[in-house]
Each structure stands twice: as structure tokens, then as C-alpha cells.
Amino acid sequence: MFRGKRRNTSVIAKDRLRLLVDAERIDCSPGILLMMKKDMIKAVNKYILVDEDKVSLTFRAVPPTLSATIAVKKTPHSR
């Protein structure tokens, strides 16, 4: 009845696998990465609507960087 939009299982599996690979690269647990992603979504959602299905974290070894891509939902008032 009040179900939200469900994500495709292949997309979920791909995200989980990517989290595992990224966790290995930076020697961090997948749980920590997931919490970090959720915290970023929560922080940005205070100011603008975020499309949570389209948030990704990218890690690079050289130089050591963390990049976040956060898709924003369009609202009726958006141009």
C-alpha cells in the first residue's frame, strides 16, 4: 500500500559489490562505508532533496581521495 519505489536487485547487488571492493582498497569495513554514505545523504537532505538511489562514493588510491556523486531530485519549483 505505502511501498516506496523498489530498486532492481541487480542494481542493489552491484552497489554492494562495489562497496566491498572499495572497502578493501581503503582498508575500511563495508559497514563503515555504508554508514558514511547514509550520513552524507542525511546531511545533504537537510538542504535539498536527494535521489538516494543515485548516490555513489568513489575512492582513489593516488592521490588518496573520496568523491561523492549525489543526484538531486527535481521539485515542482525547480527550473
pLDDT digits over 22-56, tens only? Answer: 666 666 677 777 888 889 999 999 999 999 888 88
Phi-psi region of 62 (alpha: psi -120 to 50; beta: other; left: phi over 0): beta
pLDDT digits over 51-76, tens only? Answer: 988 888 877 767 777 888 999 987 66
Is pTM beyond 0.75? Reply is no
d(CA 39, CA 18): 18
Dig out the grid coordinates for 29 from the structure. Answer: 569495513
Residue matched to cell numbers 535539498? 48
